[in-house]
């Protein structure tokens, strides 16, 4: 019976400790410290046994023939003094008058009293600063002094002339090298990749910590399973993908997914950013790419994660200049390393970008990035799962309904949801609460979506009244339109940079297609605020500027892009500029004749005029409800959705539960069955 080949992944062994290096280092340091302490002991002991006297006093002792030994050095004179028995008052060191003449000193020394002669002072060693004195040698010979010269000691000369200056220069060089190393790489290591090797213990993120992107996790789990047990794939002739590209808007969790792969795969994981390859020196980027793959081959099987791939993977030939030429050389090196003449086995490239439209086509072809995984904004179930993941370490109140919060945050990414939970925690701490309540979460959504409250921006009564009618006009059009999103909250509290008030509408379910009727109803809702001002005040204000901008853009898309105009027909008369960063706010370039463009403008005006007339008609019909809701809004400054629908006599819509087939668990079951 033939046994299946067993492939064992390399086990990381602890790094060997160089015993010789630290041992020799300890011996050298011990020797230097011992040498320094010995020199310091000699100097301190010598200084402690010497009595320092002025040079003038030394000359007096020399004149009295009391100096028996003297050693003349470069900067000092050391020696021994044996005082003769004499009166204390005649001692040169203490009582001798500096103004006394030499004859007086001799006379005093020649006739001491019998009591003072009995005093015999003890000899002592002296030290005095050397002064330029040409007659010093003659005076030493005349006094019968045993004198000589002495050079500095070996230890003193060695430490003072060699060791201490060299040590100072070494410390200074180390500080400068460390300072320069913090600002940039050393000149000798400029070609190194700088990729960080992530150890298993450093990555504590797993797939359980990632929510809202089940399809992306399913694709990446296959790569992880291949690394863990490649035999079952290789028996069928399957080969592991060389590259996996994570594509999605910012904040959707691409980097978090890469960290989860590192935590699940249990193989070496190199992490680097695309900007780390770009350098001002020509050829450095390509050298770093080669060095990165050389390191990865030494740790194969392993994973290389390149974040922000668009920094080096932009399309070639669209620009000119040395900087772009350097980027193209780096890209060429990356292309060769991923799928060149030599096979690159055991190394998987995992990259992330939010600008896939600018990447080079050669980089995206099969054989390099075989698989592109879209990490989009989470749906309703995904947002609820993300909220549950990020609320694990937060204390939530029993009244918190994460499903309702997920429904209120349509279109937000995982980073936005994490920010909302953090803002809610800050709001709860600000009011000294013991747990995060539903009100804190709803206030956090308003703060993230509409901006913080502008309490300093005070409106007068007339402006506040106009803003109230404007916002209630939006709300009423949403209430009497069956295809509009339900009203969640109406407020006339200024928020953000320019919002004097707002009407928050939240969808009850995720919607991916819109009909012409639904789009027309949305335009009517956008124009409801301006129509309300004209119905009540007889004139309009500048507050509808943003409403007109959004309504005009939507009407132009209906005519020029979606073919929803009979006069223009089915022709697509504009082109979008694709971009993951812009989301729904994209630029449209005209792709039609002047006559067609004129027709488009006429159709856009017609759509807006019909929608505006419909809005005015609806608000005029329900004028009593407009006044009732506005009066309540002026008193409370904000009205929630249930209160609004109660005032207009309608039932508040509820969040719809999705069909079981659209859940992530059901999707996984269907794929496993197939």
Q: Convert the pLDDT of each residue in 257-277 to its tens digit.
A: 888 887 887 778 888 888 878
pLDDT greater at residue 672 or residue 90: 90
Non-local CB neighbours of 366 within 8 Å, separated by 6+ positions: none
Identify the pLDDT of residue 278: 74
Q: What average pLDDT does range 301-306 have in this prediction?
A: 85
HEC states along 51-90? EECCHHHHHHHHHCCCEEEEEECCCEEEEEECCCCCCHHH
Identify the pLDDT of residue 548: 92
Confidence of residue 322 (pLDDT cuts 50, 70, 90): very low
Maximum Cα–Cα distance across the chain: 143
**Tokens read off for 648:** 């207009």
Contact by Cβ (8 Å): 66, 83: yes
**What is the pTM for the complete model shown?**
0.62
Q: What average pLDDT does range 21-27 have in this prediction?
A: 60
Indicate the helix (H) or strand (E) that contains 588. Answer: strand 588-590
3-state secondary structure of 639: strand
pLDDT greater at residue 187 or residue 162: 162
Identify the pLDDT of residue 62: 85
Residue 24 has pLDDT above 80, yes or no: no
Residue 547 has pLDDT above 50, yes or no: yes
Question: What DSSP character marks residue 162?
Answer: I
Residues labelled catalytic: 471
**Tokens read off for 63:** 């004149």
- 412-456 pLDDT, tens digit each: 888 889 999 999 999 999 988 899 998 899 888 888 887 777 766
- Least reliable range by pLDDT among 1-5, 58-62, 407-411, 545-549: 1-5
Where do runs of H (alpha helix) occur along 133-230? 136-142, 154-158, 164-183, 214-228
**Cα distance between residue 122 and residue 141, in whole Å:** 24
**Cα distance between residue 255 and residue 248, in whole Å:** 11
Using DSSP bridges, classify how beta strands 124-129 and 51-52 pair: parallel, antiparallel or unpaired: parallel
Cα angle at 473 between 623 and 477, to 5 degrees?
A: 90
Q: Which residue has the tokens 């999707």?
A: 667
- Cα-Cα-Cα-Cα torsion 287, 332, 357, 350, nearest 10 degrees, comes to -60
Residue 673 has pLDDT above 80, yes or no: no
pLDDT greater at residue 124 or residue 188: 124
Residue 523 has pLDDT above 90, yes or no: yes
Contact by Cβ (8 Å): 501, 492: yes
- 192-208 pLDDT, tens digit each: 555 666 655 556 778 88
Cis peptide leading into residue 301 (ω within 30°): yes
Confidence of residue 116 (pLDDT cuts 50, 70, 90): very low
pLDDT > 90: what percent of the chain?
Answer: 14
pLDDT greater at residue 104 or residue 555: 555
Question: What DSSP character marks residue 161?
Answer: I
What integer best gives the mean pLDDT of the chain? 76
Q: What average pLDDT does range 172-179 have in this prediction?
A: 71
- 341-362 pLDDT, tens digit each: 566 567 888 899 988 888 888 8
Identify the pLDDT of residue 436: 92
Identify the pLDDT of residue 71: 84
- Least reliable range by pLDDT among 284-298, 625-639, 645-659: 645-659
Range with top average pLDDT, 289-298, 464-473, 574-583: 464-473
- 90-104 pLDDT, tens digit each: 444 443 444 343 434
Q: Pick from 425, 375, 63, 161: which is nearest to 247 by CA?
A: 375
């Amino acid at each position: 019976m033939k046994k299946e080949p067993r492939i064992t992944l390399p086990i990381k062994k602890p790094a060997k400790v160089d015993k010789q290096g630290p041992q020799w280092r300890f011996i050298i340091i011990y020797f230097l410290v011992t040498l320094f302490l010995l020199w310091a002991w000699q100097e301190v002991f010598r200084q402690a046994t010497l009595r320092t006297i002025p040079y003038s006093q030394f000359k007096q002792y020399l004149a009295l023939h009391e100096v028996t030994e003297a050693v003349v050095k470069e900067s000092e004179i050391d020696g021994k003094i044996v005082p003769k028995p004499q009166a204390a008052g005649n001692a040169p060191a203490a009582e001798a008058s500096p103004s006394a003449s030499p004859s007086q000193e001799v006379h005093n020394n020649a006739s001491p009293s019998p009591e003072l002669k009995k005093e015999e002072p003890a000899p002592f060693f002296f030290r005095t600063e050397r002064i330029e004195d040409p007659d010093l040698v003659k005076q030493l010979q005349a006094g019968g002094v045993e004198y000589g010269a002495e050079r500095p000691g070996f230890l003193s000369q060695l430490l003072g002339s060699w060791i201490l200056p060299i040590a100072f220069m070494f410390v200074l060089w180390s500080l400068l090298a460390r300072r320069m190393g913090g600002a940039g790489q050393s000149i000798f290591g400029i070609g190194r990749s700088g990729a960080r090797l992530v150890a298993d213990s450093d990555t504590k993120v797993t797939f359980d910590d990632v929510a809202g992107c089940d399809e992306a996790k399913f694709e990446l789990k296959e790569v992880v399973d291949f690394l863990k047990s490649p035999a079952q794939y290789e028996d069928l002739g399957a080969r592991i993908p060389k590259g996996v590209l994570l594509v999605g808007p910012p904040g959707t969790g691409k980097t978090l997914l890469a960290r989860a792969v590192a935590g699940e795969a249990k193989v070496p994981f190199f992490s680097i950013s695309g900007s780390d390859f770009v350098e001002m020196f020509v050829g450095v980027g390509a050298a770093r790419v080669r060095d990165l793959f050389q390191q990865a081959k030494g740790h194969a099987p392993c994973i290389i994660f390149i974040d922000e791939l668009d920094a080096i993977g932009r399309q070639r030939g669209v620009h000119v200049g040395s900087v772009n030429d350097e980027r193209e050389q780096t890209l060429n090196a990356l292309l060769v390393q991923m799928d060149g003449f030599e096979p690159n086995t055991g190394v998987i490239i995992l990259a992330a970008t939010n600008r896939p439209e600018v990447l080079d086509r050669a980089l995206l072809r099969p054989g390099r990035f075989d698989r592109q995984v879209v990490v989009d904004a989470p749906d309703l179930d995904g947002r609820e799962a993300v909220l549950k993941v990020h609320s694990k370490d937060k204390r939530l109140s029993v009244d918190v309904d994460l499903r309702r919060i997920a429904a209120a945050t349509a279109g937000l990414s995982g980073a936005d949801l994490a920010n909302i939970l953090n803002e809610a925690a800050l709001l709860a701490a600000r009011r000294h609460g013991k747990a995060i309540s539903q009100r804190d979460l709803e206030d956090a959504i308003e703060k993230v979506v509409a901006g913080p409250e502008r309490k300093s921006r005070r409106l007068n009564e007339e402006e506040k009244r106009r803003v109230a009618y404007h916002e209630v006009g939006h709300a009423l059009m949403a209430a009497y339109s069956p295809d509009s999103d339900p009203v969640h909250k109406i407020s006339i509290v200024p928020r953000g940079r320019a919002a004097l008030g707002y009407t928050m509408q939240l969808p009850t379910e995720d919607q991916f297609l819109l009909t012409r009727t639904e789009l027309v109803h949305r335009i009517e809702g956008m124009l409801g605020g301006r129509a309300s001002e004209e119905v009540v005040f007889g004139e309009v204000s500048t507050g509808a500027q943003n409403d007109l901008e959004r309504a005009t853009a939507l009407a132009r898309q209906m005519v020029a892009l979606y073919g929803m105009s009979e006069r223009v027909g089915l022709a697509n008369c504009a082109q979008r500029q694709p971009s993951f960063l812009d989301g729904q706010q994209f630029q449209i370039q005209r792709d039609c004749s002047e006559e067609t463009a004129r027709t488009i403008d006429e159709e856009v005006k017609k759509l807006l005029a019909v929608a505006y007339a419909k809005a005015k008609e609806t608000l005029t019909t329900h004028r009593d409800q407009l006044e009732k809701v506005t009066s309540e809004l002026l008193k409370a400054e904000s009205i929630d959705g249930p209160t609004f629908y109660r005032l207009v006599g309608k039932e508040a819509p509820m969040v719809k539960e999705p069909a079981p087939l659209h859940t992530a668990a059901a999707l996984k079951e269907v794929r496993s069955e197939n």
